[in-house]
Structure 1
Amino acid sequence: MGQVSPIQVQKYLAGIDYPCDRAGIVSAAEDNGADNEILQALKAIPDRTYNGPNAVSEAIS
């Protein structure tokens, strides 16, 4: 699996109410049409609560 860009990921996280946990982030990305590579990257982030999009980006990179 190639490395996904945090910028690519952010466009699929629109509309999330933070704080949000991993399951909520993955669900929102699915609802926003994220492809399998993005979804796999999000499913691989630690299962914790994220306070904003920057925290999600840091977890991916």
Structure 2
Amino acid sequence: MPEIHEYLTEVRYPCDRAEILRRATARGADDAVLGRLGTLPEQEYDSLDTVHDLLGRAEDPHH
């Protein structure tokens, strides 16, 4: 998911979903990226790896 990673380089963890969306928007993320990030559960995230893990699970229904 390198395209999403590039929009989250300035996020400081821990943070919540709203902060992830704010930072991605500030970095110029398009609707597709913001839509993907919007699927994240409302919770606190401790790292970019956690964000990637949850996004990956959303794509894999068998996970």
Q: How high is the TM-score relative to the length of structure 1?
A: 0.86
Aligned length: 56
Identity of aligned residues (%): 32
**What amino acid does structure 2 have at the position aligned with 1:17?**
R
- What are the ranges of 5 or more consecutive residues in structure 2 without an aligned counterpart? 57-63
After TM superposition, where is structure 1 displaced by more than 6 Å over at least 4 residues in a row?
none
Give the number of the structure with larger relative contact order, counting CA–CA contacts within 8 Å between residues 6 or more apart: 1
Q: CA RMSD in A?
A: 0.7
- What are the ranges of 5 or more consecutive residues in structure 1 without an aligned counterpart? 1-5
Q: How high is the TM-score relative to the length of structure 2?
A: 0.84
